[in-house]
A and B are shown apart, each in its own frame.
Chain A
């Protein structure tokens, strides 16, 4: 099942700089996109989402960008902080009538102090 891909398994970023995490999907029917953050031994924690009618959504240090034509979304974290070190998953769904979230493989982000 390769419907959602995160091609970078890991990423290291200096504290204070911008972290950019990427996600590609294949099914144009997906219309709701989310980012979750996961620490070891915890469940995924919701970060930010975007619906297909928008191309950008901001929440504090986190911004999600959606490029529907390229079937690509990205998460920008600026400035990056040590507490941002975690595994980040993108997830997608066909919002109405389809409850399941399809997750990417995750990107382990390490913020270097």
Chain B
């Protein structure tokens, strides 16, 4: 069964450094998402992406965040200057354009900012 993959599974970085989290969505999917879950808290929406542009973003997704689909398979989340509070599990998700199709999530990248 096709699945969303994410790399790396874990990343440790120093505060102020840039990180890029990578996702390979399911191949025929057209809608892409990033969510995060801070330890002990709920899963929170960050951004949705369709047709090479952001379709919606949350207030968490400020100027420090950006997303890109650099080629036909990868979908990336960049954090330009990480803060301690960016430490979280980051989930990528994708879905097809079929009506009522759900979002399928990847296994996540655990980001720790020191």
Contact = CB atoms under 8 A, between A and B. Distances in A.
Contacts of B93: 43
Majority DSSP secondary structure for residues of B touching A: strand
A95 interface: yes
B105 A100 contact: no
Contacts, number: 54
Interface residues of B, number: 25
A100 B108 contact: no
Most buried by B among A32, A51, A99, A101: A99
Interface string B1-34: 0001010000000000000000000000001010
B107 A43 contact: yes
B104 interface: yes
A16 B18 CA distance: 49
Interface of A: 32, 34, 36, 41-46, 49, 51, 89, 91, 95, 98-106
Interface of B: 4, 6, 31, 33, 35, 41-45, 48, 50, 55-56, 58, 91, 93, 100, 102-108
